[in-house]
Amino acid sequence: MCCTKSCGPCKKFEPTFALFAESNKDNALFVKINADEGEDEFKALCSDLNVRDVPAFRLFRGGDEIKEPQLRLCAPGLKNVEKTLRSAIHAHI
C-alpha cells in the first residue's frame, strides 16, 4: 500500500489493510510505503511504481509486477478494495 500521512482515504483504509495483511500473511507479503517518510527514497520508489494517487496498491510475484489489476482507489471505493485484493492474491498464488 502506497500512502501519505495527509491522505484521508489512506488513514481510513489503514486498519483494514493491517487486518487483511495479518489474515493473509501465509499467502503474501504486505508492505506499506509512506511517501512522506524518507522523502527522496520513497518518492523515488512510488515514481518507479508509477503511483500517481494514493492509496495505491501493486502486486508482485517472483519480483515481477502483476499488471492486473492496477489497484487504485478513492474514498468511495474503500469497501471494494479488500475484495479486489483478495481476488487478485488468490488468482496469483
Is it the case that residue 78 has pLDDT exceeding 70?
no
Q: Which domain holds residue 12?
A: 2-92
What does the pLDDT read at residue 59?
A: 82
Its pTM stands at 0.73
Per the structure, how many domains does the chain have? 1
Pairwise pLDDT comparison (68 vs 85), residue with the higher score = 85
Q: What is the CATH number of the domain that holds 20?
A: 3.40.30.10
Name all contacts of 71-79 with Cβ < 8 Å and 24+ positions apart. 73/9, 73/13, 74/9, 75/8, 75/9, 75/12, 78/9, 78/12, 78/13, 78/16
Please write the tens of the pLDDT for every residue from 19-69.
888 988 888 888 998 887 777 887 788 888 888 888 888 888 888 887 765
